[in-house]
């Protein structure tokens, strides 16, 4: 294959960190983590999520960054090149492909949720005064069920993403990320403090941090005939936690590999990866702590599903002093966080097509953006009461089905193969040179990618087949 090597590099370690944190921190932390924690029973799920983030996510993150930086190319070519240099099968290139396709698929629903966030900037400007649990839920359902409004915002979200990607990584991404990511952090801290004072902090802490393993491993249903409760053993919630760990860290999709390919040799990968992982999980926990005290204070249930953040926070904004300013500011920053992640979802495909065809980046970005937008219509219209609301794929709507495929199957599988490749198919010496770690730290990393990650991910996958 004819390839042009990458020459773009981040201007500094600091911009790389911001961009990587920008990719990791997004709807996954602020929209998905809270609603998944709510649906999957709280504490025990959160505990598994955190264990997966640090024991599996962190080493896979280091492995992806190492491969990207070593090759200085987008994932497809990076996998091809590193496999060739190590004398391995050319089929490892498929891992690069699955990332390019997975990122594309995720974006087809991610941008619909991103569109909801844009819609909420507008709604927040008008204010949420008097919102209670019922009115807020009705307002969200009205938006998600509307055939036109979410589509308009979804198109807007994609247009912004494409406009930034078209300018290239440095010009487009770096400037925006520098200012807005830190601001989001600060605002989120403020919202956690507000929720702690105005909401039911004790109930939220109990829900998020007191593990009750029966909620993780057993699903309760009611027998339609006898009316009695039936407890069924399940591993699906553990898989949800694993999938969320990969999703929130942007792993297994070649995204982080692509960002690694813009890295210079002087950056310490392990230290950067640790910082990204801490920042990412901190934001998820902060989002949980901003949302659940309100959930309990206003009498909502934790399992509001995809609407949770959109239903809960407006109630808080409607009640707090200054809510008319904090509300729009929050949704604006959340939209920004979502856009920095969306950019990273489309970037592997754009940079691949650019390298492959030598075509112009703006044209490529527009074309891919157009395809994502078109396929994304299925997610927008697949919501309850919307045009395709009754269509079910394996018993769920389009968005949930795509999310299950990408987050619970493709990302952990991508991570599994990256761990296997890095632990078993890259020579120990090359892995060590790229990471430049001391002996002890390298041994820990190597043990995790070689044994812990493959065994743990495989164990979860296999058990899900049986339970």
Which residue lies nearer to ligand PFF by CB, 344 or 386?
344
Please say which residue, 10 or 296, places its beta carbon nearer to ligand PFF.
10
Please report how close the Cβ of residue 220 comes to ligand PFF at its closest, in angstroms: 29
The nearest distance, CB 104 to ligand PFF, in angstroms, is: 10
Q: How far is the CB of 343 from ligand PFF (least distance, A)?
A: 9
Smallest separation (angstroms) from ligand PFF to the CB of 19 = 11
Binding residues for ligand PFF (CB under 6 A): 23-24, 26-29, 103, 106, 247-248, 250, 253, 255, 341, 344-345
Q: How far is the CB of 327 from ligand PFF (least distance, A)?
A: 21
Query: Residue 24 or residue 67: which is nearer to ligand PFF going by CB?
Result: 24
Nearer to ligand PFF, 72 or 344 (CB): 344
Query: Which of 25, 208 has the CB closer to ligand PFF?
Result: 25
Nearest approach in angstroms of CB 287 to ligand PFF is: 10
Residue 195: CB minimum distance to ligand PFF, A: 21
CB of 233 to ligand PFF, least distance (A): 29
Residue 319 or 373 with smaller CB distance to ligand PFF: 373
Closest CB to ligand PFF among residues 412, 423 = 412
| Nearest residue (CB) to ligand PFF, 29 versus 277 | 29
Report residue 164 as tokens.
């930034």
Nearest alpha-carbon partner for 156 in 122, 116, 115: 115
Nearer to ligand PFF, 108 or 248 (CB): 248
Of residues 24 and 158, the one with the C-beta less far from ligand PFF: 24
Closest by CA to 284, choosing from 19, 15, 24, 44, is 24
Q: How far is the CB of 71 from ligand PFF (least distance, A)?
A: 18
Q: Is the separation of the CB atoms in 73 and 260 below 8 Å?
A: no
CB-closest chain residue to ligand PFF: 28
Classify burial at 141, counting beta carbons within 10 Å of its beta carbon; exposed 0-12, middle 13-18, buried 19 or more. Answer: middle
Smallest distance, ligand PFF to C-beta of residue 78, A: 15
């Amino acid at each position: 294959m004819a390839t042009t090597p990458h020459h773009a590099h981040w201007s500094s370690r600091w911009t790389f960190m911001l961009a990587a944190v920008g990719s990791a921190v997004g709807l996954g932390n602020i929209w998905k983590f809270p609603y998944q924690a709510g649906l999957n029973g709280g504490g025990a799920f959160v505990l598994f999520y955190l264990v997966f983030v640090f024991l599996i996510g962190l080493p896979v993150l280091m492995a992806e960054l190492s491969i990207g930086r070593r090759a200085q190319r987008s994932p497809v070519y990076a996998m091809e090149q590193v496999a060739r240099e190590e004398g391995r099968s050319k089929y490892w290139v498929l891992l690069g492909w699955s990332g390019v396709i997975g990122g594309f698929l995720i974006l087809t629903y991610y941008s619909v949720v991103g569109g909801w966030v844009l819609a909420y900037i507008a709604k927040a400007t008008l204010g949420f005064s008097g919102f209670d649990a019922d009115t807020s839920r009705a307002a969200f359902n009205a938006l998600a069920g509307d055939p036109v409004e979410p589509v308009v915002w979804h198109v807007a979200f994609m247009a912004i993403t494409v406009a930034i990607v078209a300018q290239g990584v440095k010009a487009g991404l770096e400037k925006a990320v520098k200012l807005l990511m830190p601001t989001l952090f600060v605002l989120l801290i403020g919202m956690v403090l507000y929720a702690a004072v105005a909401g039911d902090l004790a109930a939220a802490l109990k829900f998020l941090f007191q593990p009750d393993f029966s909620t993780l491993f057993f699903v309760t249903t009611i027998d339609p005939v006898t009316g009695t409760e039936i407890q069924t053993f399940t591993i699906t919630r553990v898989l949800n936690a694993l999938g969320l760990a990969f999703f929130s860290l942007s792993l297994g999709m070649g995204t982080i590999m692509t960002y690694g390919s813009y890295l210079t040799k002087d950056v310490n990968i392990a230290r950067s990866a640790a910082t990204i992982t801490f920042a990412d999980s901190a934001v998820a926990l902060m989002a949980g702590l901003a949302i659940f005290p309100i959930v309990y204070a206003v009498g909502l249930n934790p399992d509001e599903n995809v609407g949770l953040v959109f239903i809960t926070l407006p109630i808080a904004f409607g009640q707090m002093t200054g809510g008319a300013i904090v509300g729009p500011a929050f949704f604006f920053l959340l939209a920004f966080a979502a856009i920095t992640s969306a950019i990273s979802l489309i970037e592997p495909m754009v940079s691949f097509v650019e390298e492959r065809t030598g075509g112009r980046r703006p044209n490529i970005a527009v074309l891919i953006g157009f395809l994502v937008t078109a396929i994304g219509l299925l997610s927008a219209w697949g919501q309850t009461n919307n045009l395709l609301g009754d269509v079910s794929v394996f018993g769920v709507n389009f968005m949930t089905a795509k999310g299950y495929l990408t987050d619970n199957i493709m990302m952990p599988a991508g991570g599994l193969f990256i761990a296997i490749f890095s632990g078993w198919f890259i020579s120990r010496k090359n892995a060590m040179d790229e990471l430049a770690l001391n002996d002890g730290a390298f041994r820990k990393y190597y043990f995790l990618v070689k044994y812990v990650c493959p065994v743990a991910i495989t164990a979860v996958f296999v058990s899900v087949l049986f339970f």
